[in-house]
Protein backbone atom coordinates (compact mmCIF):
# COMPACT_ATOMS: atom_id res chain seq x y z
CA UNK A 1 0.00 0.00 0.00
CA UNK A 2 1.39 3.41 -0.98
CA UNK A 3 1.73 6.02 1.79
CA UNK A 4 -0.76 8.87 1.68
CA UNK A 5 0.68 12.41 1.79
CA UNK A 6 -1.08 15.77 1.77
CA UNK A 7 -1.20 17.44 -1.63
CA UNK A 8 1.95 19.38 -2.45
CA UNK A 9 4.21 17.57 0.04
CA UNK A 10 7.23 15.58 -1.03
CA UNK A 11 7.73 12.00 0.01
CA UNK A 12 11.14 10.41 0.28
CA UNK A 13 11.07 6.63 0.35
CA UNK A 14 14.24 4.82 1.24
CA UNK A 15 14.50 1.14 0.53
CA UNK A 16 17.42 -1.15 1.19
CA UNK A 17 19.08 -3.32 3.74
CA UNK A 18 21.41 -0.73 5.27
CA UNK A 19 20.58 1.50 8.21
CA UNK A 20 20.66 5.25 7.48
CA UNK A 21 22.52 7.61 9.76
CA UNK A 22 23.40 11.30 9.46
CA UNK A 23 22.03 14.82 9.43
CA UNK A 24 20.17 16.98 6.95
CA UNK A 25 20.60 20.74 7.14
CA UNK A 26 17.53 22.91 6.71
CA UNK A 27 17.90 26.40 5.26
CA UNK A 28 16.17 29.23 7.14
CA UNK A 29 12.95 30.84 5.95
CA UNK A 30 13.31 33.86 3.65
CA UNK A 31 10.25 35.71 4.93
CA UNK A 32 11.27 35.38 8.57
CA UNK A 33 14.84 36.45 7.82
CA UNK A 34 13.69 39.57 5.95
CA UNK A 35 11.42 40.64 8.81
CA UNK A 36 14.16 40.04 11.38
CA UNK A 37 16.61 42.05 9.28
CA UNK A 38 14.12 44.94 9.17
CA UNK A 39 13.63 44.63 12.93
CA UNK A 40 17.36 45.31 13.40
CA UNK A 41 16.49 48.95 12.67
CA UNK A 42 14.56 49.07 15.95
CA UNK A 43 17.66 48.75 18.10
CA UNK A 44 21.01 50.40 18.32
CA UNK A 45 23.58 47.70 18.60
CA UNK A 46 24.31 44.37 16.99
CA UNK A 47 21.88 41.88 15.48
CA UNK A 48 23.18 38.46 14.45
CA UNK A 49 21.02 36.14 12.35
CA UNK A 50 22.07 32.60 11.51
CA UNK A 51 20.89 30.10 8.92
CA UNK A 52 19.82 32.89 6.54
CA UNK A 53 19.33 31.76 2.92
CA UNK A 54 21.70 33.29 0.34
CA UNK A 55 19.15 34.70 -2.09
CA UNK A 56 18.60 37.98 -3.92
CA UNK A 57 15.90 39.25 -1.53
CA UNK A 58 18.33 39.00 1.40
CA UNK A 59 21.02 40.93 -0.53
CA UNK A 60 18.46 43.61 -1.41
CA UNK A 61 17.32 43.95 2.20
CA UNK A 62 20.96 44.19 3.31
CA UNK A 63 21.43 47.10 0.89
CA UNK A 64 18.25 48.79 2.18
CA UNK A 65 19.58 48.50 5.74
CA UNK A 66 22.94 49.95 4.67
CA UNK A 67 21.19 52.95 3.13
CA UNK A 68 19.29 53.44 6.37
CA UNK A 69 22.49 53.61 8.42
CA UNK A 70 23.32 50.00 9.32
CA UNK A 71 26.61 48.27 8.77
CA UNK A 72 25.66 44.87 7.33
CA UNK A 73 27.93 41.91 6.76
CA UNK A 74 26.97 38.57 5.31
CA UNK A 75 28.95 35.35 5.52
CA UNK A 76 29.04 32.33 3.24
CA UNK A 77 27.70 30.06 5.98
CA UNK A 78 24.35 31.90 6.23
CA UNK A 79 25.12 34.46 8.90
CA UNK A 80 24.00 38.09 8.67
CA UNK A 81 25.36 40.69 11.09
CA UNK A 82 23.78 44.13 11.29
CA UNK A 83 25.22 46.90 13.44
CA UNK A 84 23.28 50.10 13.98
CA UNK A 85 24.68 53.02 15.90
CA UNK A 86 22.37 55.99 16.40
CA UNK A 87 19.74 56.98 13.88
CA UNK A 88 19.73 57.45 10.14
CA UNK A 89 18.96 61.00 9.06
CA UNK A 90 17.00 61.47 5.85
CA UNK A 91 17.32 57.98 4.39
CA UNK A 92 18.11 57.84 0.69
CA UNK A 93 16.48 54.63 -0.41
CA UNK A 94 16.08 54.06 -4.13
CA UNK A 95 15.98 50.37 -4.90
CA UNK A 96 13.74 48.99 -7.59
CA UNK A 97 13.44 45.29 -7.02
CA UNK A 98 11.13 42.30 -7.06
CA UNK A 99 11.73 41.87 -3.33
CA UNK A 100 8.30 41.57 -1.75
CA UNK A 101 9.45 42.57 1.74
CA UNK A 102 10.88 46.07 1.14
CA UNK A 103 7.78 47.70 2.62
CA UNK A 104 8.55 46.07 5.98
CA UNK A 105 11.25 48.68 6.61
CA UNK A 106 8.84 51.62 6.57
CA UNK A 107 7.62 51.25 10.15
CA UNK A 108 11.04 51.03 11.87
CA UNK A 109 12.29 54.33 10.39
CA UNK A 110 13.03 56.76 13.21
CA UNK A 111 10.04 58.82 14.36
CA UNK A 112 10.25 62.30 12.93
CA UNK A 113 12.16 61.23 9.82
CA UNK A 114 10.63 63.01 6.85
CA UNK A 115 9.81 60.86 3.85
CA UNK A 116 8.60 62.92 0.91
CA UNK A 117 6.40 61.33 -1.75
CA UNK A 118 9.33 60.29 -3.95
CA UNK A 119 11.11 58.55 -1.05
CA UNK A 120 7.93 56.86 0.10
CA UNK A 121 7.28 55.57 -3.43
CA UNK A 122 10.85 54.25 -3.69
CA UNK A 123 10.17 52.03 -0.67
CA UNK A 124 7.10 50.38 -2.13
Would 111 be classed as within a structural domain? yes
Beta bridge mates, 83: 46, 71
Q: Please compute the mean of the pLDDT values over residues 5-11 and round it to a whole number.
A: 72
Pair 122, 95: CB distance under 8 Å: yes
Name the domain count of the chain. 1
User: What is the spatial distance between Cα 40 and Cα 4, in angstroms, rounded to a whole number?
Assistant: 42
Would 23 be classed as within a structural domain? no
Would 21 be classed as within a structural domain? no
Q: Beginning with the edge strand found earlier in the chain, give each strand of the sheet holding 80-84 in spatial order.
A: 45-49, 80-84, 70-74
Give the pLDDT confidence of 26-82 residue by residue, as tens digits. Answer: 778 888 999 999 888 888 889 999 999 989 999 999 998 888 888 999 988 889 999
Specify the pLDDT at position 67. 84
Would 117 be classed as within a structural domain? yes
User: What is the spatial distance between Cα 34 and Cα 59, in angstroms, rounded to a whole number?
Assistant: 10
Would 20 be classed as within a structural domain? no
Full residue range of the structural domain in which residue 77 is found: 30-123
Whichever domain contains 65, its CATH number is 3.65.10.10
Would 95 be classed as within a structural domain? yes
pTM of this prediction exceeds 0.75? no
Amino acid sequence: MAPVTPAGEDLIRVEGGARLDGEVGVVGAKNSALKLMAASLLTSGRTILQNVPRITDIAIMAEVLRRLGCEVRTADHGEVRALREGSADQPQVRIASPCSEDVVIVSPVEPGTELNDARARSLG
